[in-house]
């Protein structure tokens, strides 16, 4: 739009044209700014938030649950009572995953490298997961903590149902950075075999020298932080360890 003054003094037409031009530029700027803010928030949310709420599957407010909101907790308890979880039978993963790994990763919405921040990629983590039962629960845990640049070792209790080990092998076959422990032991709570299972996974993971920190989990745990948040927390430790212990009385 061009505006021309045709007299030494600004005419009403010139002023009106100038105001219209300024108004158009302001509106255009606000539209572009709002667009980029929305895109940025959606992009960061998709990359960094593993605790997203899928309202098509359940009516929970995940953020309120993490805050321990009493109303949200009560609703979740009532929903769980009305819709009890039914575990997959042992051997189910072996049957399904032998057919299509691509479908398994797609169904589980496993994170791909393009969804991982540079900060996370520069600070890979190593995990061990020790389990005795419920491979579907362990797969839910793995899905939450999985990143393609991290490393994962899974130890299945030697006394577990053989189908559970078969299921975990099938899952590991579909995820190239997930490994089954090279040796499995019969784990007893509170004795050396519990530590031995961890040491076996540590030794196996040492083959992959890129990771910065080792985190040990059981199959009954679940993260309340995103991978990016975990990276920033362990960075703050600056090489120290966070170990829970008890004192004999």
> Looking at residue 243, what is its pLDDT?
78
Global model pTM greater than 0.85: no
> Looking at residue 19, what is its pLDDT?
52
> Looking at residue 245, what is its pLDDT?
74
The DSSP string of 5-46 is --SSSPPHHHHHHHHHHHHHHHHHHHHHHHHHHHHHHHHHHH
Q: Give domain limits for the chain.
A: 59-86, 92-237
Q: Say how far residue 110 (Cα) sits from the centre of its chain.
A: 9
Tell me the CA distances in angstroms from 157 to 8, 40, 75, 97, 203, one per residue in order.
92, 44, 35, 22, 17
Strands, DSSP E only, in the chain? 125-131, 151-156, 178-180, 213-218
120: closest CA among 151, 150, 153?
150
**Secondary structure (3-state) at 180:** strand
> Looking at residue 169, what is its pLDDT?
93
Tell me the CA distances in angstroms from 113 to 69, 139, 152, 235, one per residue in order.
34, 19, 16, 21
Cβ–Cβ < 8 Å for 212, 125 = yes
Q: Would the CA dihedral through 92, 98, 99, 101 be positive or negative? A: positive
d(CA 216, CA 214): 7
Angle at 235 between CA 128 and CA 108, to 5 degrees: 45
Tens of pLDDT along the chain (249 residues)? 434 333 444 455 444 555 556 556 565 656 565 555 444 444 444 444 444 444 455 677 888 888 889 998 888 888 888 877 666 667 777 777 767 889 889 888 999 999 999 999 999 999 999 999 988 899 999 999 999 999 999 999 999 999 999 999 999 999 999 999 999 999 888 888 888 999 999 999 999 888 999 999 999 899 989 999 999 999 999 888 877 777 766
> Looking at residue 39, what is its pLDDT?
47
Count of beta carbons in the 10 Å neighbourhood of residue 224: 12
């Amino acid at each position: 739009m061009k505006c021309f003054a045709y007299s030494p003094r600004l005419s009403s037409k010139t002023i009106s044209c100038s105001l219209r031009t300024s108004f158009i530029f302001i509106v255009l700027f606000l539209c572009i700014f709002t667009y980029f803010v929305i895109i940025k928030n959606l992009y960061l949310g998709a990359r960094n938030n593993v605790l997203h709420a899928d309202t098509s599957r359940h009516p929970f407010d995940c953020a309120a649950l993490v805050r321990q909101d009493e109303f949200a907790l009560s609703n979740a308890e009532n929903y769980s009572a009305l819709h009890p979880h039914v575990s997959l039978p042992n051997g189910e993963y072996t049957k399904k995953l032998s057919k299509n790994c691509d479908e398994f990763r797609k169904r589980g919405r496993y994170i791909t490298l393009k969804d991982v921040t540079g900060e996370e990629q520069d600070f890979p983590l190593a995990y061990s997961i020790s389990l005795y039962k419920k491979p579907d629960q362990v797969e839910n845990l793995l899905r939450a903590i999985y990143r393609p640049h991290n490393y994962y070792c899974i130890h299945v209790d030697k006394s577990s149902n053989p189908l559970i080990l078969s299921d975990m092998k099938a899952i590991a076959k579909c995820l190239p950075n997930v490994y089954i422990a090279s040796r499995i032991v019969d784990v007893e709570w509170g004795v050396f075999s519990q530590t031995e299972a961890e040491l076996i996974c540590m030794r196996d993971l040492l083959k992959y020298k890129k990771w910065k920190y080792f985190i040990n989990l059981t199959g009954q745990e679940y993260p309340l932080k995103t991978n990016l948040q975990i990276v920033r927390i362990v960075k703050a430790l600056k090489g120290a360890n966070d170990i829970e212990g008890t004192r004999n009385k």
